[in-house]
Amino acid sequence: MALTPELNERSQQLLKTLVERYIHDGQPVGSRALSKDSDLHLSPATIRNVMADLEDLGLIHSPHTSAGRVPTVSGYRFFVDTLLSVKPLQEQELGLLHDGLTNQANEDVVGIASKLLSETSHMAGVVTLPRKDLVCLRHIEFLPLSNTRVLVIFVTNEQEVHNRIIHTAKKFSAAELQQAANYLTSLYSGHSLAAVREAVVKELQLDQQQVNQTMYDAVSMAQLAFTDEAKKDDYILSGETNLMGFSELSDMDRLKGLFDAFSQKRGIIHLLDKCLEADGVQIYIGEESGYQAFEHCSLVTSPYSINDEVVGVLGVIGPTRMAYEKIIPYVDVTAKLLGAALNAKS
């Protein structure tokens, strides 16, 4: 990671003003416009000299032949880390998020959170679905179908019912399946699916002579039932068409790359997964994400929790020219409210 440049107070003040003007207007900022800023108290010649220094440091650059300057990724990073003053949400904004996530009979609070992030930011809102690895098993049943096909029904988090069909190595009677289900429920009820999978693998590595056939068959069926359950976590995306309204993202090739990334999902999931271990709000600016499709975008994320366990991530995707001081509290508060809503339903 590049070292943060040291800037004197005058340079910091000018950079802050330039970034804020560019975020607000979307146009390159010239020295003449900055010299009119009453808070700077700098002559046009001084401003030109400071801007030249900032350009040498890689914090701003001149697009094309424009006389004005725009922030670089490094400039945005310095602004966010050093100069940004986050604004608390207004009471009306806070009420909108709170009512949307806590006063809804709708079970799809994850989808609602994604939509609220999009509506409040006027950008794209993204929320990963709660990780199944951290969902707790409550009860399991096996029902015989035909030949070696068995229907697995398992309940998680008190109320969520899942089912799937597995193919066992031999045919089992209904009584044998019931015995296996009772054994597994007594052994693993209250454990996360990730812990169940890990325990099952260990059980199967034991010498089969150490366990009786019924226990071994039960664990084998559990492996079939839960191993494939560790599918890639998915996410809900809302408002992606909002991004078409930003001039820096309206280039057709950029839009195509961005929407291809949204449809393929794998890269974004990998990026969001990196945020799961983070404490609080994380910000990826432009190329920091490591994905070419996001080269002109920023991603502001925060993890959300159920019962103090981080189970997912939500965030806002928009142009690098976003109002970070407003987006950061939107994301932070929404993550806390979503966690509280999911806790209330679990």
CATH of domain 9-83: 1.10.10.10
Q: Is the pLDDT of residue 138 over 90?
A: no
pLDDT 10s digits, 248-261 = 888 888 888 888 88
User: Do 9-83 and 91-130+233-345 fold alike per CATH?
Assistant: no
pLDDT for position 230: 47
Domain range summary for the chain, segments of one domain joined by +: 9-83, 91-130+233-345, 133-229
Under a CB-based contact definition with an 8 Å cutoff, are residues 221 and 96 in contact? no
Q: Is the pLDDT of residue 243 over 60?
A: yes
Topology (CATH) of 133-229: Enolase-like; domain 1 (3.30.390)
Q: How confident is the model at residue 333 (pLDDT cuts 50, 70, 90)?
A: very high
117 token code pair: 């992030």
Instruction: Count, in order, helices (H) and strands (E) of the chain.
Output: 12, 10
CA–CA distance from 110 to each of 104, 129, 232, 330, 339 (Å)?
A: 12, 7, 17, 15, 10
Question: Considering only the top CATH level, what class is 91-130+233-345?
Answer: alpha beta
Q: Which residue has the higher pLDDT, 234 or 157?
A: 234
pLDDT 10s digits, 301-312 = 999 988 788 889
Q: Is the pLDDT of residue 85 over 60?
A: yes
pLDDT for position 65: 67
Q: Which residue has the higher pLDDT, 221 or 107?
A: 221
**CA–CA separation, 328 and 134 (whole Å):** 27
Instruction: Provide the CB-side half-sphere exposure for 79 (13 A, CA).
Output: 29
